[in-house]
A = this chain, B = another copy of it.
Amino acid sequence: MPRPKGDHEARRRDVSEAVWRVLAAHGFGGLTMRAVAAELGASTGLLTHYFRTKRDLVAHALDLLERRTEARPRRAAGQGLAAVRAALLDILPLTDEATGSNRVWVSSWDTALADPGLRADHARRYARSRDKLCELIAEAQRLGEIAPGDPERLAAGAQAFVLGLVVQALLDAPAFPASRQIRLVDDHLAALTPDGRGANGG
């Protein structure tokens, strides 16, 4: 007797959640068919119904990471410089949930660098996020809240800054509490404003 479709989808969700728990605990370095099967309390054989190869499993994990990142709660954005600030703060590991998700992103870089196809996917993801940042910066420039200058260069600089800050905060949480991360973002933004005072009003 074939199982009803609802069962199949519920099972698929269970599998995805097991993949996420393995990622959150061990990163991509610990993502194996065996680890997911153990997390699920199932056999490795069952898992091959969902992922034929390790690469399929990794691709699913990257999709999952992207979907969870897109679905995460975000700050009320406002507009102009405030919207740029909100977009940068949304990326940082300021909460436990954002820390977990960032830990998986950082871990994904090694995986992406080892596979040209996955690397190209990642390059596209970051280019899209840079484009969004660029639009917000251009809008803040129109409002006179960010000094003139090529908004693409400012976006690339801000994105680099915030990604590196993620790395530092994850590797050295005691040295980079939320308050310090926010202060560093405000320093970065202050340097972009016409009067050097930044989004938080100085």
**Residues of A118-165 whose CB lies within 8 A of B:** 119, 122-123, 126-127, 149, 153-154, 156-157, 159-165
Tell me how many chains of this kind the complex includes. Answer: 2
- Please state if B184 and A157 are interface contacts (CB–CB under 8 Å): yes
Distance of A148 Cα from B119 Cα, bound (Å)? 40
Interface of A is mostly: helix
- Please state if B110 and A28 are interface contacts (CB–CB under 8 Å): yes
- Please state if A183 and B153 are interface contacts (CB–CB under 8 Å): yes
Residues from chain B with a CB closer than 8 A to the CB of A127 are: 172, 175
Q: Which residues of A contact B (CB under 8 A)?
A: 26-30, 103, 106-107, 109-114, 119, 122-123, 126-127, 149, 153-154, 156-157, 159-168, 170-172, 175, 180, 183-184, 187-188, 191-192
Distance of A183 Cα from B183 Cα, bound (Å)? 25
